[in-house]
Structure 1
Amino acid sequence: ETIQAVSLFTPEGIRRIITEAVSNFVNFPPLGTVLVAMLGVGVAESTGLISALLRQVVLVAPAKFITPAIIFCGVMSNLASDAGYVVLTPLAALVFLAYKRHPIAGLAAAFAGVSGGYSANLLIGSIEPLLAGITENSAKLINSEYTVNPAVNYYFMVVSTFVITLVGWYITDKIVEPRLGKYNGEINQEEIPELTAAERKGLRWAGYSLLAFVALLLILVLPPEGILRDPETFTIIPSPFFQGIVPIIMVGFILPGIVYGKTAGTIQSDKDIAQGMTQAMSLMGYYIALSFFAAQFVAYFGWSNLGIILAVNGANFLKATGFTGLPLLISFIIVSGFINLFIGSASAKWNIMAPVFVPMLMLVGYTPELTQMVYRIGDSTTNIITPLMPYFPIIVAFAQRYDKKTGMGTLIATMLPYSLAFLISWSALFIIWFIFGIPIGPGAGIRL
């Protein structure tokens, strides 16, 4: 079949651009999934649950394990929108100072976990549905029936969590902190905020509610004829469980958030719950605006056939030159990391790259899920050294509390060892995964 480029600068093309602009936006898959997930995250964050949980984990960790505890909390905190940056990074500096260690080393460890470990986690957060929606849209340029569920990189994410924690621990204690030397600055008198009795009780009951929710999900999924299995084949993959993972994520945040808020006293009425959701949505204005233009871009790519043409030509070039396999995929990791230095938003970059690279690598034989995973490795590893990352100025401001001379250049130099170590170790983990053909997530393999 011959595919030809279709010009949109024709009367018919212009009419289509104008008449379908709203439907492109409304039907853009990542938009609804992200907003639904963020409703739950907003409740958990506004009630103080996420902040209290991060503080609890860091404060109870033994002195010799304080570094990995901070990095691990950083990785896990990227479930929320900004709790890791706003709560954990200054807290980590205070904790290091309390242990007579350099506070900027603590801040760097937290920042490395929060931002450098952005593509690792033990749980599915709001970024997974967002990227999966973009990946699915791009895959449909080749296969209109292709679907991508938000958990497709989950197995790799779980292992990555521990790899990033261990590598970050080594870099902090053996490279970054020794380079910083002994802290001789003015001692900050600010105390580490201990959890109140109400907060501890709230955390306990929030944990109970989450366990009850997980138990309910297991009851609905594990039995051979469970309600959330496929009603015809009774399989788990695919099933309503994975198709409905986004509202499940939302409830998984809302339920413990409400229980914590009622127990700790941060929720007085249903208005407080609504306020938490409203605050979360108010932070999504940039994303909603971006989604409008991204939706048009993706639609135009499909209408004009440019996505398919670029993918086919690119795939033919790769086959002709023999540039496939690990060299190709490692190169894609490096390209993603390089582009991240200039475009900070993960979704903005993927909206630009996915319509070309997902179909191209599908034609070479690799799954869209693998392409997404490879992209995320490169994207995460350079997050901590790009000044264009939205929270970078905030981290600089936190560091200046302990060293007035700290600027963007100083912070980049401090974070560079983490970036290089994460790039090398994550790539090595990926190579092992690729060689042994390990599934990267539920229902997601490496090759088509």
Structure 2
Amino acid sequence: MSDKTPGAAPAEHQKGILGLIERTGNRLPDPVFIFFYLIIAMAIVSIVADFANMAVEHPTRVDDAGNPVIVDAISVFSPDSIRHLLVEMPEIFTGFHPLGYVLVVMLGAGVAERAGLFGTAMRAAVRDVPKFLLTPAVALVAMMGNLAADAAYVVLIPLAAVIFAAAGRHPIAGITAAFAGVSGGFSANLLPGQLDALLFGITEAVVQPLDPGWVMNIAGNWYFIAAMTILFTPVIWYVTDRIIEPRLGKWTGGAVLGSTNPDDDASAELTAGQKKGLAHAGIAVLVIALVWILLTVDVLALVTGGSASLYGGNAPLFSADTSLSATQRLVPFFSSLVAGFMLLFIFAGIAYGRAAGTIRNHRDIVDMMAGAMKDMGYYLVLAFFAAYFVELFNQSQLGLIFAVNGANGIENSGLPLPIVLGLIVLFAAVLNLFVGSASAKWALLAPVLVPMLMLLGVSPEMATAAYRVGDSGTNIITPLMVYFPLILVFAQRWVPSFGLGSLTASMLPYSIWLLITGIAMTVLWVFLNLPLGPGATVQYVLPGAG
């Protein structure tokens, strides 16, 4: 952002903690190079650890004599490590767990977004809401809009300003409420989506060395993120209506800024084609959901009450092994949800696009998919270095060594597990001020946090959930967040003097209250041992432990 932006002081002239954070953060390199430097640092640490004979007892493995297996630190410059890292470089990259999950989901999301489904659906959801319910409606749709990734920022936030102004309310309040929902509630949603696939893919990569039988479940945080959505909605409602809007004062600028306002089109009525497209997309969603039910439920046995099956003994997405629990037999269903969301987005996007006129033929669909993959170019570069960082941790065995020592330290400290999880939320929130990417931070933290918590009896799903709470809360107060300057531009269309400090001051109450709510929810969730999603629990027993 230029120093000439109206109302915004140059970073060098910012005072106090905000100026310090901005100046420090601006000096940080790109996340890709952060991983590159960490790889170099980890290589050096592995040499030192190997030379110092660092070692721990493996928490689950024993030798033939029944003694615990000793895990020694290994230098990544050992002949075996060098051979592995160079010979298997393509496999390390392509085998990075989040990569396939994210690319598959984005193939579908790219069609839905570029066809216009996401943008139109968000507009339709908030246009005709009663004035007194406008704030919670915007907050809820903004959190749900995370399924649409970037579209929620570029469509819903400026649209919220127009809708607030049209209702006689301050448009900046609409922007802050939408920004708080989209970014402050980044992990909150009523449905799992591409973020779940991304984070759980990283989680799976660090879990499997300890528990090879653990399989990623994209719905592993479903109940947790749905509860976040339910709790965060009234919090954003309260902060907007009781704290932010009174500070802004009464809006007297009218509902429309003038013909130069690029948001005017967003406030227009939906066309007949768009309405028809939404209806067709809804039918497509129901059809895909029905197909997944038929693939999971033994329909004939359900109807007849007998043992016969429509699929020769079991539905394809329901394991035939009767010795397993019902949850374990649903593992194929959980594993299929990535493909399910891809198909849902593709067919809903096509149904909308054909009716609305944004998709004319099959070439448009291919172009939309290709466009989505082009947008993933930066992520592919980041994933390459993140994959090597994770692999380096695994090769050096430092991740397990740090996790065992960390678990022992926490156990000796006597801190209750709910408090430990709350502190992890705070740590992730502070780190988020400097490193904006959710996947980059989790790739840094997961190799230590997840195994450490597993050793303490906390599931990988709960570790991931705690991280997500911290990752969301401070998104909206750091200028290092990539969309922060864009939100400032949206605000300055309505109030030209609205500067960087104004935006940060407006978003700070949201950040504080969302963090307080998220930490309280995390602590209570662990204390009550509530399920995190289908088949996902807080407690965890490491196979072979004890």
TM-score range, shorter chain: over 0.9
Deviation of the 1:168 alpha carbon: 0.6
Tell me the amino acid that sits aligned with residue 181 of structure 2.
G
* Alpha-carbon distance between aligned partners in 2 of 1:111 and 1:229, rounded to the nearest angstrom: 40
- Is structure 2 residue 98 aligned with structure 1 residue 30? yes
Taking the TM superposition and a 5 Å limit, the aligned residue runs for 1:412-423 are 412-423=504-515
| Counterpart among 277, 280, 288 of residue 205 in structure 1 | 280
Q: Which moved more, 1:250-259 or 1:237-246?
A: 237-246
Residue number in structure 2 paired with 1:52: 120
| Counterpart among 318, 322, 328 of residue 229 in structure 1 | 318
> Deviations along 1:290-346, whole A, 9 cap, x unmatched?
110011111110111100110011111111121341221111000000000000000
> Deviations along 1:144-179, whole A, 9 cap, x unmatched?
332221110001111211211111111111111111
* Alpha-carbon distance between aligned partners in 1 of 2:320 and 2:380, rounded to the nearest angstrom: 35
* Alpha-carbon distance between aligned partners in 2 of 1:120 and 1:268, rounded to the nearest angstrom: 35
Name the SS for the 2:74 alignment partner.
coil
Residue number in structure 2 paired with 1:239: 331
* Alpha-carbon distance between aligned partners in 1 of 2:316 and 2:73, rounded to the nearest angstrom: 46
- Is structure 2 residue 295 aligned with structure 1 residue 220? yes
Taking the TM superposition and a 5 Å limit, the aligned residue runs for 1:209-288 are 209-223=284-298, 225-233=314-322, 235=326, 237=328, 238-288=330-380
CA contact (8 A) 2:172 2:494 kept: yes
Q: Which moved more, 1:194-203 or 1:314-323?
A: 314-323
* Alpha-carbon distance between aligned partners in 2 of 1:269 and 1:156, rounded to the nearest angstrom: 40
Aligned-residue RMSD, C-alpha: 1.4
CA contact (8 A) 1:332 1:375 kept: yes
Deviation of the 1:33 alpha carbon: 0.4
Name the SS for the 1:2 alignment partner.
strand
Name the SS for the 1:3 alignment partner.
strand
Residue number in structure 2 paired with 1:400: 492
* Alpha-carbon distance between aligned partners in 2 of 1:180 and 1:236, rounded to the nearest angstrom: 51
Name the SS for the 2:71 alignment partner.
coil
Residue number in structure 1 paired with 2:235: 167
Tell me the amino acid that sits aligned with residue 290 of structure 2.
A
* Alpha-carbon distance between aligned partners in 2 of 1:447 and 1:232, rounded to the nearest angstrom: 24
| Counterpart among 118, 121, 124 of residue 189 in structure 2 | 121
Aligned length: 448
Name the SS for the 2:211 alignment partner.
coil
CA contact (8 A) 1:141 1:307 kept: no
* Alpha-carbon distance between aligned partners in 2 of 1:325 and 1:432, rounded to the nearest angstrom: 11
Name the SS for the 1:8 alignment partner.
coil
CA contact (8 A) 1:141 1:308 kept: no
Residue number in structure 2 paired with 1:297: 389
Tell me the amino acid that sits aligned with residue 119 of structure 1.
S
Residue number in structure 1 paired with 2:8: none
* Alpha-carbon distance between aligned partners in 1 of 2:284 and 2:83, rounded to the nearest angstrom: 52
Deviation of the 1:12 alpha carbon: 3.3
Deviation of the 1:231 alpha carbon: 2.9
Residue number in structure 2 paired with 1:341: 433
* Alpha-carbon distance between aligned partners in 1 of 2:426 and 2:376, rounded to the nearest angstrom: 29
Residue number in structure 1 paired with 2:516: 424
Tell me the amino acid that sits aligned with residue 210 of structure 1.
V
Residue number in structure 2 paired with 1:366: 458
| Counterpart among 103, 107, 113 of residue 171 in structure 2 | 103
Tell me the amino acid that sits aligned with residue 214 of structure 1.
A
Segments of 5+ residues of structure 1 without an aligned counterpart are none
| Counterpart among 467, 476, 479 of residue 384 in structure 1 | 476
CA contact (8 A) 1:148 1:369 kept: no
* Alpha-carbon distance between aligned partners in 1 of 2:321 and 2:455, rounded to the nearest angstrom: 31
CA contact (8 A) 2:292 2:340 kept: no
Deviation of the 1:185 alpha carbon: 4.7
* Alpha-carbon distance between aligned partners in 2 of 1:179 and 1:236, rounded to the nearest angstrom: 50
Residue number in structure 1 paired with 2:53: none
Name the SS for the 1:148 alignment partner.
coil
Tell me the amino acid that sits aligned with residue 227 of structure 1.
P
> Deviations along 1:38-76, whole A, 9 cap, x unmatched?
010000001111111000011121111111111111001
Deviation of the 1:443 alpha carbon: 1.2
Residue number in structure 2 paired with 1:188: 257
* Alpha-carbon distance between aligned partners in 1 of 2:147 and 2:492, rounded to the nearest angstrom: 27
Residue number in structure 2 paired with 1:88: 156
- Is structure 2 residue 363 aligned with structure 1 residue 307? no
Deviation of the 1:82 alpha carbon: 0.8
CA contact (8 A) 2:111 2:365 kept: yes
Which aligned runs of 4 or more in structure 1 are off by greater than 6 angstroms? Answer: none
Deviation of the 1:236 alpha carbon: 5.2
Name the SS for the 1:61 alignment partner.
coil
* Alpha-carbon distance between aligned partners in 1 of 2:210 and 2:78, rounded to the nearest angstrom: 25
> Deviations along 1:347-405, whole A, 9 cap, x unmatched?
00000000011011111111111010000000011111111111111111101101112
Tell me the amino acid that sits aligned with residue 401 of structure 2.
I
* Alpha-carbon distance between aligned partners in 1 of 2:331 and 2:401, rounded to the nearest angstrom: 33
Using structure 1 for the length normalisation, give the TM-score: 0.97
* Alpha-carbon distance between aligned partners in 1 of 2:368 and 2:182, rounded to the nearest angstrom: 22
Segments of 5+ residues of structure 2 without an aligned counterpart are 1-68, 303-313, 541-546
> Deviations along 1:56-100, whole A, 9 cap, x unmatched?
011121111111111111001111121110000000000111111
* Alpha-carbon distance between aligned partners in 2 of 1:276 and 1:444, rounded to the nearest angstrom: 35
Deviation of the 1:435 alpha carbon: 2.1
Residue number in structure 2 paired with 1:179: 247
Q: Which moved more, 1:12-21 or 1:75-84?
A: 12-21
Deviation of the 1:283 alpha carbon: 1.1
Q: Which moved more, 1:323-332 or 1:123-132?
A: 323-332
CA contact (8 A) 1:116 1:381 kept: yes
Deviation of the 1:120 alpha carbon: 1.0
| Counterpart among 45, 70, 95 of residue 2 in structure 1 | 70
Name the SS for the 2:148 alignment partner.
coil
Q: Report the structure number with the largest CA radius of gyration.
A: 2
* Alpha-carbon distance between aligned partners in 2 of 1:231 and 1:256, rounded to the nearest angstrom: 31
Deviation of the 1:18 alpha carbon: 1.4
Tell me the amino acid that sits aligned with residue 408 of structure 2.
N
Deviation of the 1:184 alpha carbon: 4.3
- Is structure 2 residue 217 aligned with structure 1 residue 149? yes
> Deviations along 1:208-248, whole A, 9 cap, x unmatched?
12112212222222336333211333845433211111111
Taking the TM superposition and a 5 Å limit, the aligned residue runs for 1:55-70 are 55-70=123-138
